[in-house]
Structures are given as C-alpha cells and as structure tokens.
Amino acid sequence: MSLFFRGVSMASGSFCADRNALGRRVSKSLGFHLLQKQHHQHIRQFSFHSYSGSGSNPFNESMHATTILSVRKGNKVVVMGDGQITQGGSLVVKPNAKKVRRLGDGGEIICGFAGVTSDAITLMERLEKRIEMYPGQVTRACVELSKLWRTDKYLRRLEALLIVVDKDVSLTLDGTGNVIESNDGIVAVGSGGSYALAAARALLDVPDYDAEMICKKSMDVAAELCVYTNNNYTTEIIEIQKSDEGDKNKSKSKK
C-alpha cells in the first residue's frame, strides 16, 4: 500500500512539474507577444511623431511635400506653387499638378494648398460656400471655415494647409483652428515654405523687383534646396487698382 501511494505521489509531482513548465512556457510566449505588440506600437508612434505635423495620421509626409508662396508688393498680389507630387518620399508621380486656384464668382480670391489633394479640394469647396455667405469678408469666411474644420468630426480628419489671399489680406489656415494674417504680405506653406519665405523677405526691399519676380526667385531657391519642390510653377496674380488702395486706406483711417 505504501508503494502504491508513493507511486501516486511521484506521478502527481511529475504532473505538477510538467504543468508548471507548461505555464512558464505559455507566460513567456505571452510576454514575448506583448513585448512585440508594444514594440510595434512604439514604432507607429515614432513614425507619427517623425512625419506628422499637426494632423492625426502618419501620412503627413505628403502634407509637406510641396511649396506654396504668396507675395504682396505694390499693386500686385502673387500666389505661386510648384507642381510636384511625391509618393512615398522618393517617387515623383506627377510634375505639373495645379495647387493654386481662384475662388469666388469673379475669381477675386486665390487659394493655394499643401497636403492631400482630395482633402484640400473639400476644404476649398467649404470655403467657397462661406465666401458666398459672407461676400467681401474673406477673413470672416476663413474664420468660419476654421471653426467648422476644427469642430466637425469628419472635417477634423482632413490634412491640408491653405493660403487664402485677396486684394486686402493674406491668410494661412491649418487644421488646429489658426487663421494667421501676414504682417508683411508674405506667406508660405509646405516643405520648401521656409526657404521660399526667407528668400522672399530678403528680396522684398529690392527696388526693381515686383511681387511676381520676388515669387519666382524665391521659388527657385526653394526648388534648389527642397527635393519635394520642382520648377513647374502655377502662378495667379491679383492686380490692385488705385481706387482699391484708396478705399483700404480710408477704412484703416476710420479704425
């Protein structure tokens, strides 16, 4: 009888040992998969912080892969944008895209965009509706679009940066609720925007350079320094009449 119980105890002990070993192997396996999952999450977070600007998706490398510049000088307001579309950071899929367009019934407003084309077109359509609601009030239309862009659960996912100009103001819009008016009449967005902005400010005081020439020279600088910017430019110009300047000065003096 004692031999029987001894055999049973030895068998149960070996069973417990096997069960403990199996539990250790399962826990190690689960721990490995947990660490692997955390590693992939860390990689995704790193990619998001590396490539995204102010948006919520890690695609945002394409958001910056362009250059849009606007210069206001004398009786001209010029908006110029390059035509390169880059996919994956290394593949040029189109060299002559049009990223600068006119808005409004008479085309008195110019809009340039950097980002996903479909998102930018959606935002420009919404902006046109606001312009129709508030005719002659570009700043208010942009503020209303910015509020909608910020609060709407669908629009807040759109990834783009907009430059909106008319004969009076030059504005920059992003998806964080900012509507920024330029103090010197020069605005730029995109991967080459900093280069173009710096060059334009350096050339603004040159007497013989008008707004279009400053834009051209500055965009050439950006195209040489930024791999996402080419020399196929789209240019839109607003000619400011003297009567418009006089009306603007009168409104300022009333304020």
Active site residues: 66
CA distances in angstroms from 31 to 34, 35, 169, 251, listed in the order given: 5, 6, 58, 69
- In degrees and rounded to multiples of 5, residue 71 shows phi and psi of -130, 135
Residue 44 CB-half CA count within 13 A: 8
Distance in angstroms (rounded) separating the CA atoms of residues 94 and 66: 12
CB atoms within 10 A of CB 202: 13
Cα–Cα distance measured from residue 72 to residue 76, given in angstroms and rounded to the nearest whole number: 6
User: Which residues, in sequence order, are CB contacts of 4 under 8 Å at separation 6+?
Assistant: none
**Nearest alpha carbon to residue 199 among 224, 177, 174:** 224
Which ranges of 52-175 does DSSP label H, i.e. alpha helix? 117-133, 138-151
Query: Phi and psi dihedrals of 168, rounded to 5?
Result: -110, -40
The residues pairing with 109 across neighbouring beta strands, listed in sequence order, are 103
The total of other beta-carbon atoms located within 10 Å of residue 90's CB is: 7
Strand partners, 179: 173
127 phi and psi angles, rounded to 5 deg: -65, -40
